[in-house]
Structure 1
Amino acid sequence: MSRLVAKQFPQWAELPVTPVANGGWDNRTFHLGPRMSVRMPSAAEYALAVDKEHRWLPALAPRLPLPVSTPIAKGEPGEGYPFPWSIYAWLDGEPARADRIADPIRFAVDLAEFLAALRQIDPADGPRPGLHNWYRGGTLKTYEGLLRGALTKLAGHVDVDLVTEIWQDALAAPWDGTELWFHGDVAQGNILLSAGQLAAVIDFGTCGVGDPACDLAIAWTLLTVEGRQVFREKLTVDEASWSRGRGWALWKTLTTRASTLDDGDEEADTARRVLDGIIADYVACRGDQPRRGGSRTP
């Protein structure tokens, strides 16, 4: 890594390169000195986002109410590394976590305002769903295989009939075809806090234009029940979009739940809690009571 930086960017050759704790899966992230970071795609599919980020992030950043990842320089393959890579300005903050959020309602409002501003940017010529972002902004059917595989593994641990009903409701919820900008991976690790407040949003590798319902998954994966309602109201999310957003949260949570089925760690506990919330929200929106044994997972 140090050799790669030194060869292509000699002006930064003397800066130390150190791994970032929990530096990511799609990209490996390193500190470059005190105020920059290096992001190196971990596979060819993830490298598809590099040119997109360099093309679009400088255009998006000035129109958004919070700091976002902004590339400073683009590196080329070399020194045994096969993909393009990027140098970014470092953004201070700690990854969002429920117990780190000072005011859940204020956080929900601030996040909704950020996504509303992103949606207001002209989508003309923006990147449509594709392999570069794992088809975010497109149909949920792309992920049906993952969901079905997770449900097979979870049989006997979750109410498969009720979960399937929630999924079918999401698939049937129509999108009017209005293309809007979306982040694509609004998740805890990509949201930074400072003193418990929303401070920045990073990692736009899955961004694009299309159906922005994928950005709603955070309503179930991080927000409180009250925050979720405020978030929905602030973004003016209609019933169909909310159902599709619930579907995005569902397939993600089920795959995590299946992969941590035999674990008792924090990730497994979080997956169980989030799935409970998805089910409870669906039942509330449906306007009836959960069937016995169907509202909670073990």
Structure 2
Amino acid sequence: MTAPTTPSHPLIEIDVTADLARALLVAQHPDLADLPLHGRGSGWDNLTWRLGDDLALRFPVRELSSTLIEREQRWLPLLAPRLPVPVPSPVRVGRPSDLYPWTWSVVPWLHGDCVAATPVAGRTAWAEQLADVLAAFHTAAPPDAPTNPYRGVPLADRYAVMVERLTPDLPHVAALRDALEAGLAAPAWERPAVWVHGDQHPGNLVSRDGELTGLLDFGDLCSGDPASDLATAWITFDTAGREAFVARTQEVRGWDDATWVRARAWAAGTVPVLLAHPDDYPLMAAAGEHTAAQVAAG
């Protein structure tokens, strides 16, 4: 076994090759080591190998995100039973070793298609289902729930960074600025903190045959204002899907108008992040273009 390599990709500090993943299984979970490794995929914080038909291996790819897996391992077993859709609650834990320096997980493989790769219009079919999932999730968080400086916080805490990122070259930048200003001016969240997923975009959703079949990536899990999650109304859906999502959310949760104004602002602030690495993450870049257009549409 050779040492982990550092690839050219700007966000990956350690590349978990098939050989390295297999060696970690042999050392720590030998009963799984003979299952085939396939379907490798990487995001901004983690790399995933599919393991056999029904499992996956989830590895942090950079030190900055290395503790996010531990957050999932701590809280997902408690949160998963309350959610009406499958989530990758860890079934095994991988420990740091000489081969790989961070904690990693064995999780269930959620069957379906990455929503970011599906037609936007088709997502309306399960917009109410996602509303029910988030309504079940956005419940009172305990005092020891994790916090996150980037999600669930007052919009004022992120405004300076967000507005600086809204450069003139962005699509619909005037509408994005207006949405951000409106969110800043809206009343802040004053209710008790609720659980917040923290990374609600179509790359973290799984669907099949007109149904939502999975919610992924709880590394940004935190507590606070649900508006950053509700931004998915503009990030994931078109007008029809957004109307269905908002209507069902209001039926179940009844958030005030200010929460939706803040949610649209969060969507606007997400656009430059989604567009940041178009060559490495074209599906996310497409989501950024879509979000900008949806924010501009209202």
What interval of TM-score do these two structures reach, taking the shorter chain for normalisation? 0.7 to 0.9
Q: CA deviation at 1:142?
A: 4.3
2:207 alignment partner in structure 1: 193
TM-score by length of 2: 0.81
Amino acid at match of 2:129: D
Q: Deviations over 1:168-221 (max 9, x none)?
A: 211222211421112111211111111131111111111121111111121111
**Gap change, CA 1:59 and 1:267, over 3 Å in 2:** closer
1:107 alignment partner in structure 2: 126
Aligned 1:1-80 pairs, distance under 5 A? 1-20=21-40, 22-80=41-99
**Structure 1 position 212 matched with structure 2 position 212:** no
Q: CA deviation at 1:148?
A: 3.3
Amino acid at match of 1:16: P
Aligned length: 271
Consecutive unaligned residues of structure 2, counting only runs of 5 or more, are 1-20
Aligned 1:146-225 pairs, distance under 5 A? 146-154=161-169, 158-160=172-174, 162-173=175-186, 174-225=188-239
**Gap change, CA 1:15 and 1:197, over 3 Å in 2:** same
TM-score by length of 1: 0.81
Q: Is the 8 A contact 2:204 2:217 kept in 1?
A: yes
Consecutive unaligned residues of structure 1, counting only runs of 5 or more, are 282-298
- State the secondary structure of the residue aligned to 1:127: coil
- Measured in 2, the distance between the counterparts of 1:271 and 1:123 equals 30
- Measured in 1, the distance between the counterparts of 2:26 and 2:210 equals 37
Identity of aligned residues (%): 33
- Measured in 2, the distance between the counterparts of 1:58 and 1:99 equals 29
Amino acid at match of 1:9: H
Q: Deviations over 1:141-167 (max 9, x none)?
A: 444344334333528x6454x533321
Q: Deviations over 1:38-91 (max 9, x none)?
A: 000011221212222112111111111111111011111124311111110111
**Gap change, CA 1:35 and 1:79, over 3 Å in 2:** farther
- State the secondary structure of the residue aligned to 2:231: helix
| CA RMSD, 1 decimal | 2.5
2:14 alignment partner in structure 1: none
Q: Is the 8 A contact 2:236 2:287 kept in 1?
A: no
2:272 paired residue among 247, 254, 271: 254
Q: CA deviation at 1:233?
A: 2.1
- Measured in 2, the distance between the counterparts of 1:269 and 1:201 equals 20
1:284 alignment partner in structure 2: none
**Structure 1 position 127 matched with structure 2 position 142:** no
Q: CA deviation at 1:127?
A: 2.4
**Gap change, CA 1:29 and 1:159, over 3 Å in 2:** closer
**Gap change, CA 1:242 and 1:102, over 3 Å in 2:** closer
- State the secondary structure of the residue aligned to 2:105: strand
- State the secondary structure of the residue aligned to 1:128: coil
Q: Is the 8 A contact 1:95 1:193 kept in 2?
A: yes
2:151 alignment partner in structure 1: 136
Q: Is the 8 A contact 2:227 2:260 kept in 1?
A: yes
- Measured in 1, the distance between the counterparts of 2:239 and 2:191 equals 29
**Gap change, CA 1:119 and 1:13, over 3 Å in 2:** same
- Measured in 2, the distance between the counterparts of 1:25 and 1:97 equals 15
Q: CA deviation at 1:102?
A: 7.6
1:275 alignment partner in structure 2: 292
- Measured in 2, the distance between the counterparts of 1:27 and 1:267 equals 15
Amino acid at match of 1:10: P
